[in-house]
């Protein structure tokens, strides 16, 4: 119930409007932005209420004269949300204490440090009005938060009920997953993955290659002859996983004893090794390619252009000219136009794996293969016998102009 009594500050609490116009908002008064949080609606049968659930707040705006009272503020707020039959309060005649039977009041003044100040008596309301007057903004206003206390009590009782029955938020998360099947949980890396990543980082820093003649950035100097083994992602992952598994004799200075880290490993069933030996045999049995000699003699041409004549061309009278010798025109070889590596592999139907291996060593086309030996293609490019045979066959067809026959 509401208790109407004379204000201790000499104001008439039943007065709705002051005789003088307001000094704020063009005479309208202080702007009040009301935010009322109502009670949660009752749930239908078979449905559960989520933990920390909140009802949708109701927002209203009205103006209040600076000479009006706390009772006027509360009445205007209750009338704006049509809760006059549900929300009740009382104000003490002597103490001036304000007590809402089923709601609470808080305010926040715009453009100030006064935030979430609870109104518990008439003095709190007087401080609110005095602070707005001291700030004297042209558009004075404050936010009034009115929360239904029944809603807070119900939420607290639901929390205690969850704790009593041992329920947690797992059901809520399961419901969220069912409602949003595309929603995925962000799971971080496992401790084993973190440890393996740390070992990979240590190995990368530890074996950064400082040999300027080496074309790789990360190498392991394999004893005893310090042979460089290029540490690829497969090497680093294998080494780090062996360290994490605590394999015998494996640490940051000793790699696992596998074929991957042994350049001298000879496996009779190794296809790459057999291909390498087969390639050497094929190269030894192949005849030497024909040599083409190109003679470029521009001496006589330069003399003719400069007007110099040989005295034997016009001998004096009575002198027989020397017998003429057959003129041999030099053979001039035409340069084969260059092709890109991608066009070369595509035209001669070379496998993408071959193209990737050649591209890794920055071979730009078939014209560059002329300067690369079979030994280098087998050792550094890691071409098998069949792959090397396909590359050399395509190169020979390119030299003979086979690419022009289709044009």
Count CA atoms within 13 Å of residue 185 on its CB side.
9
Look up residue 376 and give its two tokens. Answer: 């280098």
Q: Are residues 349 and 218 in the same domain?
A: no
| pLDDT tens for each residue of 133-165 | 888 777 788 899 988 875 444 445 445 444 444
Report CA dihedral (267, 272, 278, 283) to the nearest 10 degrees. -130
Percent of the chain with pLDDT over 70: 64
Mean pLDDT of 271-288: 65
Kind plus residue range of the DSSP H or E element containing 37: strand 30-37
Residue 328 lies in a domain: no
Q: Are residues 173 and 195 in the same domain?
A: no
Look up residue 140 and give its two tokens. Answer: 């004075």
Q: What pLDDT is attached to residue 17?
A: 47
Q: Of 23-37, 144-158, 196-210, 392-406, which range is least confident?
A: 144-158
Domain boundary among 151, 179, 207: 179
Number of domains in the chain: 3
Q: Are residues 144 and 197 in the same domain?
A: no
Domain boundary among 145, 179, 213: 179
Does pLDDT of 167 surpass 50? no
Q: How many whole angstroms separate alpha carbon 59 and alpha carbon 35?
A: 5
With tokens 């749930």, the residue in question is 43
Domain boundary among 135, 150, 179: 179
Residue 98 lies in a domain: yes
Q: How many CB atoms lie within 10 A of CB 54?
A: 10
120 to 103, 110, 134, 347: CA distances (angstroms)? 12, 20, 22, 88
Q: Are residues 77 and 147 in the same domain?
A: yes
Residue 310 lies in a domain: no
CATH of the domain at 130: 3.10.20.90
Q: Are residues 153 and 5 in the same domain?
A: yes
Rg over alpha carbons for the chain, rounded to the nearest Å, is: 47
| pLDDT tens for each residue of 319-357 | 565 565 555 555 444 567 788 888 888 888 888 888 888
Mean pLDDT of the chain: 75
Q: Are residues 88 and 126 in the same domain?
A: yes
Report CA dihedral (149, 153, 159, 165) to the nearest 10 degrees. -160
Q: How many CB atoms lie within 10 A of CB 69?
A: 24
Mean pLDDT of 212-224: 85
Angle of helix 352-360 relative to helix 385-399, nearest 10 degrees?
Answer: 80
Q: Are residues 101 and 32 in the same domain?
A: yes
Question: Which residues of 120-165 form beta strands (DSSP E)?
Answer: 141-148
Kindly indicate the confidence band of residue 83, based on its pLDDT and cuts at 50, 70 and 90: confident
Range of the domain at 348: 341-404
Q: Which residue has the higher pLDDT, 320 or 73?
A: 73
Question: Which residues of 129-283 form beta strands (DSSP E)?
Answer: 141-148, 219-222, 227-230
Residue 280 lies in a domain: no
Q: How many whole angstroms separate alpha carbon 139 and alpha carbon 27?
A: 11
Residue 318 lies in a domain: no
């Amino acid at each position: 119930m509401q208790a109407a009594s004379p204000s201790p500050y000499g104001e008439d609490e039943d007065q709705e409007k002051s005789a003088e116009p307001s000094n704020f908002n063009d005479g309208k008064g202080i702007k009040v932005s009301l935010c009322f949080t109502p009670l949660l609606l009752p749930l239908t049968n078979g449905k559960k209420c989520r933990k920390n659930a909140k009802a949708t707040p109701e927002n209203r705006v009205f103006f209040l004269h600076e000479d009006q009272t706390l009772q006027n503020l509360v009445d205007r707020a209750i009338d704006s949300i049509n809760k006059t039959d549900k929300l009740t309060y009382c104000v003490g005649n002597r103490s001036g204490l304000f007590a809402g039977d089923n709601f609470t009041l808080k305010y926040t003044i715009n453009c100030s440090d006064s935030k979430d100040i609870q109104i518990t008596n008439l003095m709190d309301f007087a401080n609110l009005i005095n602070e707005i007057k001291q700030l004297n903004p042209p558009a004075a206003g404050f936010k009034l938060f009115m929360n239904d206390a029944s809603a807070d009590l119900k939420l607290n009782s639901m929390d205690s009920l969850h704790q009593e029955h041992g329920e947690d938020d797992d059901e809520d998360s399961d419901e969220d997953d069912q409602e949003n099947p595309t929603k995925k949980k962000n799971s971080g890396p496992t401790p084993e993955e973190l440890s393996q990543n740390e070992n990979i980082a240590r190995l990368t820093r530890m074996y950064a290659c400082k040999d300027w003649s080496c074309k790789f950035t990360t190498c392991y100097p394999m004893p005893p002859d310090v042979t460089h083994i290029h540490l690829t992602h497969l090497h680093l992952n294998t080494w780090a996983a062996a360290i994490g598994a605590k394999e015998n004799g494996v640490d940051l200075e000793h790699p696992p004893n596998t074929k991957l880290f042994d350049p001298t490993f000879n496996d009779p069933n190794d296809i790459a090794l057999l291909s390498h030996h087969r390639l050497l045999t094929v190269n030894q049995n192949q005849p030497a390619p024909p040599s083409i000699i190109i003679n470029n003699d521009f001496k006589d041409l330069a003399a003719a252009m400069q007007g110099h004549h040989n005295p034997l061309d016009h001998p004096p009278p009575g002198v027989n000219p020397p017998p003429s010798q057959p003129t041999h025109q030099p053979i001039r070889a035409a340069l084969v136009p260059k092709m890109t590596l991608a066009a070369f592999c595509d035209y001669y139907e070379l496998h993408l794996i071959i193209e990737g291996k050649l591209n890794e060593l920055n071979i730009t086309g078939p014209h560059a293969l002329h300067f690369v030996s079979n030994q280098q293609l087998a050792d550094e490019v890691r071409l098998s016998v069949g792959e090397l045979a396909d590359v050399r066959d395509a190169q020979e067809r390119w030299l003979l102009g086979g690419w022009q026959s289709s044009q």
